[in-house]
A and B are shown apart, each in its own frame.
Chain A
């Protein structure tokens, strides 16, 4: 049998077409186009207010675009809430401020959506949760409440919570920027492992070390547009746009 879709070419996990998002007269996104292949790690950088978070939040329709299309693994996100909820289970999201559920233990944080959305039994959900907590290195904190964890531990729980839904894509919005410096590494290490295991990832982060070692592609955004779309090598050695150079010189000073 001849397969017209050659398996050596990975399939498109995210396709964004002409994405606009306006808040009143604030134009957060001004026509973003993007294709992310399966297993690729994309790092998004850009100055504050350039629309990085907005783009990420449009990818799972946490924010409804003003116009444009978002396709997740071949499915167009539309208005139907049920279909959207289903699509969101395929797209994990990690936030700057963790957003753990403070009234639930670490274990319950990781099992609740599995039970409610995936309909898994308590035992099955617990098994999966413990596996994910081991993966992020804190199975011993399962019965602790989030307020008793350090920032780095909280963020790792948040990652485990998303992974427990078996997503095809993971979105990270500045996952380390609220952390004390000594905790950044433990979170980046988890992200690096994920990248190695072949997860499709879109990460807004200014951790250039992560971009260098894990990213397949780097997007530089400014004023609601992808200004430069390149490789980490291209970004550090040969940035084309003046705005990119200026931004890099600012963040690499430190």
Chain B
């Protein structure tokens, strides 16, 4: 008898549990969505109205994420630092952010935090002017809240919030690298900072890359919260559309499909990256 498995043998081996039914369902949803967007005028109208928010959603997420990575890296280094001030400051930041709902944080940072910051800069500028440093002081004291549009406040709010989440990811990544690596670097005469930068961080970041990417997907979704600041992202635009036309079904189906498209595509990219990383090990 011939023992080499034929194609039909392998097909017979596939069982119901081996198929990603949930994924097929998502594909069906997309097919259905494409169908209605192509055939129904109501949906086309909603889509054309809401799509003007796509750029804002993507731009807000990308910029806020870039700032959050920088902030998170800094705070993550602080969490493992032996410097008492830096360490406690980072811990305080992370705990404060984690203890407050994101929606409240967004209101707080955009409508209280930023104005407080501006007042502080103004006071500092006025002080500089009073001690005779008018050249630097004058522009700082005249610096108004107008300088921060709601869009930029939304970005600041998202960055500060996600910075705390990313800090914990970076901390875990750094702590996953064995202590021998730091010792080897130090024994070669590299400083703590040099060893961190050239030896520890490249390995740590690689370990947490999937987690970082997942948080980007989460950020894209959470960027919908900035609609409470009247920033015209897809959530806000769909609310406006629904409010003025009373076509709630069209508005919210359209915006849901848009988010789903973004997150499903991004998640697939993350999975691809994870597989790549695993194969390189």
Tell me whether B191 and A81 are in contact (CB under 8 A): yes
Q: Is the CB of B186 within 8 A of A62?
A: yes
Chain B interface, >50% SS class: helix
CB distance from A196 to the nearest CB of B (A): 24
Task: Let me know if B190 and A117 touch, CB within 8 A.
Answer: yes
Distance between B199 CB and nearest chain A CB, rounded to angstroms: 6
| Residue pair A88, B183 in contact (C-beta under 8 Å) | no
Q: How far is A62 from B183 in the complex, measured between Cα atoms in Å?
A: 7
| B187 close to chain A: CB less than 8 A | yes
Chain A residues positioned under 8 Å from B184 (CB to CB): 93, 95, 99-101, 158
B: number of interface residues (CB 8 Å): 19
Give the total of A residues in contact with B, Cβ under 8 Å.
26
As a 0/1 sequence over residues 58 to 73 of chain A, the CB contacts with chain B under 8 angstroms (1 = contact) are 0010100000000000
Q: Is A161 an interface residue (CB 8 A)?
A: yes
48-91 of chain A: CB within 8 A of chain B: 60, 62, 81-82, 85-86, 88-89, 91
**7 A-B contacts (beta carbon < 8 Å):** A62-B187, A85-B190, A88-B186, A93-B184, A95-B180, A99-B184, A117-B190
What per-residue 1/0 map shows which CB atoms of A135-166 lie under 8 Å from chain B?
Answer: 00000000000000000000000100110010
CB distance from B203 to the nearest CB of A (A): 5
Shortest Cβ distance from B132 into chain A, in angstroms? 36
B13 → A minimal CB distance (Å): 35
Which chain B residue lies CB-closest to A171?
Answer: B187
Contact among A103, A117, A158 for B189, CB-based, below 8 A = A117
Does A92 reach chain B (CB closer than 8 Å)? yes
B190 interface neighbour in A99, A102, A103, A113, Cβ under 8 Å: A113
How many Å lie between the Cα of A10 and that of B199 in the bound state?
Answer: 37
Query: B178-217, CB under 8 A of A: which get 1 and which 0?
Result: 1011011111111110100011001100100000000000
User: How far apart are the CA atoms of A97 and B181 in the complex, in Å?
Assistant: 10
- Tell me the bound Cα distance from A103 to B199 in angstroms: 8
Other-chain contact of A165, B178, B188, B199, B206 (Cβ < 8 Å) = B188
Q: Which of B181, B191, B202 contacts A99 (CB 8 A)?
A: B181
Kindly list chain A residues whose C-beta atoms are within 8 Å of the C-beta of B181: 99, 101
User: Nearest 7 CB-CB pairs, A to B?
Assistant: A89-B189, A113-B188, A99-B184, A93-B187, A99-B180, A88-B189, A117-B189
The residue in chain B whose Cβ has the minimal distance to the Cβ of A93 is: B187
Closest to B206 in A: A103
Once A95-B180, A99-B184, A112-B198 are accepted as A-B contacts, the answer to whether A85 and B206 lie under 8 Å apart by CB is no
Q: Mark A207-248, 1 if CB is under 8 A from B, else 0.
A: 000000000000000000000000000000000000000000
Give Cα A161–Cα B199 distance, bound, in whole angstroms: 14
B82 to chain A, nearest CB (A): 12
Closest Cβ of chain B: how far from A206's Cβ, in Å?
21
Contacts A85-B191, A99-B178, A101-B184 given; 15 further ones with Cβ under 8 A? A60-B187, A82-B191, A89-B188, A92-B188, A93-B184, A95-B184, A99-B181, A112-B199, A113-B189, A116-B190, A116-B198, A117-B190, A117-B194, A161-B188, A162-B187
Chain A residues with CB below 8 A from B202, complex form: 103
- Is B183 a contact partner of A99 (Cβ separation < 8 A)? yes
CA distance A126 to B124 in the complex (A): 51
Q: Which residues of A contact B190 (CB under 8 A)?
A: 85, 113, 116-117
Q: Closest approach, in angstroms, between the C-beta of A118 and any C-beta of chain B?
A: 8
Closest CB of chain A to B33's CB: distance in Å?
A: 43
**Chain B: minimal CB distance from A76 (Å):** 17
A109 (CB) vs chain B CBs: closest residue: B184
Kindly state the separation between the CA atoms of A139 and B256 in the bound complex, as whole angstroms: 58
Chain A residues, CB < 8 A from B178: 99
Residue of B178, B183, B186, B187 most packed against chain A (CB within 10 A): B187
